[in-house]
Amino acid sequence: MLKRNWWQWLLGVVILVGVCWPAYNWTRANIKTLKDAGRTRMAPVIMVPGSSASQNRFDSLITELGKETPQTHSVLKLTVATDGSITYSGHLKQNDNEPFIVIGFANNKDGKANIDKQAVWLNIAFKELVKTYRFNHFRALGHSNGGLIWTLFLERYLKQSPKITIDRFMTIASPYNMESTSTTPKTSMYQELYKYRAGLPNSLTMYSIAGTENYTSDGTVPYNSVNAGKYIFQNQIKHFTEVTVTGANTTHSDLPQNKQIVGLIREYLLEEDVPNKVRRQNQQQLRGED
């Protein structure tokens, strides 16, 4: 009797597992489907240039991406005036789910006071884009001070668009400690970014790229200033990775169209299926991830 009961018990367990395991897998797949169903097809890549640069700053980068990527990206450019009004050039093609959008500023001067204003103007332009194109997730790229503008926006203003999420964020030579070469960040710009870091989206994946001619600077931005960004992002977001690019065309102005950086953008920002050669090169450049 005990032996028969033991076999009945084992059979019951096997039947239960046989029923529950497919149900569990179906539930997981269904949850993922429902989650993805809430995401719009369009997920633009929004770029912000640095100080003294216009909405045309990324033309060379976009050209380089066009040579390599299998996907054609339409381009829309915005310039935000000091009164918040916006002028547009270019257009987004129908059914382009990953267009490039560049946001520049009529007042594109350097300095903390202007960077703070530019973050506000970015928020104005961002809200207009969401209202017009009705996307609910995006990717962001910032060169030089454009990375600081994006960081301020993510810390303080993205929450004003609560249904919008950022998938990936990449900065190129962004001076988080401004022009300082110190290993101890203390500038007022850094202090502001550090103060509001808890506002960063905790699901964010972020890549900070530094270019160096001589392992100390890209000719304009000190490496230590770019490196200071890790203290802002680490332990606040899901993943933070710093990448250092050296060699030819690593001066500050050359970095956005640098071949190595184009490869990093393709794999880590656009998440393209890049050739093995590009993937190996990218892996060699990764400094670390938290």
Determine which of 95-99, 198-202, 211-215, 256-260 has the lowest per-residue pLDDT on average. Answer: 211-215
Name the nearest CA neighbour of 232 among 199, 209, 269, 261.
Answer: 199
Q: What is the CATH number of domain 42-289?
A: 3.40.50.1820
Please state, in angstroms and rounded to a whole number, the distance separating the CA atoms of residues 202 and 246: 30
With cut-offs at 50, 70 and 90, classify the pLDDT of residue 15. Answer: low
Please state, in angstroms and rounded to a whole number, the distance separating the CA atoms of residues 175 and 189: 9
289 Cβ partners below 8 Å, 6+ apart? 239, 240, 241
> What does the pLDDT read at residue 2?
43
Q: What percent of the chain has pLDDT over 90?
A: 58
**Residue 245 DSSP SS3:** strand
Mean pLDDT of the chain: 84
In which residue are the tokens 């380089």 written?
A: 64
141 close to 111: Cβ distance less than 8 angstroms: no
What average pLDDT score do residues 123-130 get?
A: 98
Per residue in 165-203, pLDDT (tens digit) is: 999 999 999 999 999 999 998 999 999 999 999 999 999
> What does the pLDDT read at residue 253?
73
Per residue in 50-64, pLDDT (tens digit) is: 988 888 889 999 998
Per residue in 144-157, pLDDT (tens digit) is: 999 999 999 999 99
206 close to 167: Cβ distance less than 8 angstroms: no
Name the nearest CA neighbour of 122 among 137, 141, 136.
Answer: 141
Determine which of 170-179, 212-221, 265-274, 279-288 has the lowest per-residue pLDDT on average. Answer: 279-288
Structure tokens at 13: 């367990």
pTM flag (> 0.75)? yes
Q: Classify residue 237 by its DSSP letter.
A: S
Q: Give backbone dihedrals phi and psi of 101, rounded to 5 degrees, phi first.
A: -125, 125
> What does the pLDDT read at residue 249?
67
What average pLDDT score do residues 83-95 get?
A: 93
> What does the pLDDT read at residue 278?
61
Name the nearest CA neighbour of 79 among 110, 111, 57.
Answer: 57
Helices then strands (H, E): number in the chain?
A: 9, 9
Q: What is the 3-state secondary structure (H, E, C) of 24-61?
A: HHHHHHHHHHHHHHCCCCCCCEEEECCCCCCCCCCHHH
The distance in angstroms from the start CA to the end CA of the chain is 58
Determine which of 173-187, 215-229, 273-287 has the lowest per-residue pLDDT on average. Answer: 273-287
Please state, in angstroms and rounded to a whole number, the distance separating the CA atoms of residues 90 and 74: 8
Structure tokens at 46: 């929004």
List, in sequence order, every residue forming a beta bridge with 27; answer none if it has no partner: none
With cut-offs at 50, 70 and 90, classify the pLDDT of residue 224. Answer: very high
> What does the pLDDT read at residue 16?
57
What average pLDDT score do residues 204-225 get?
A: 83
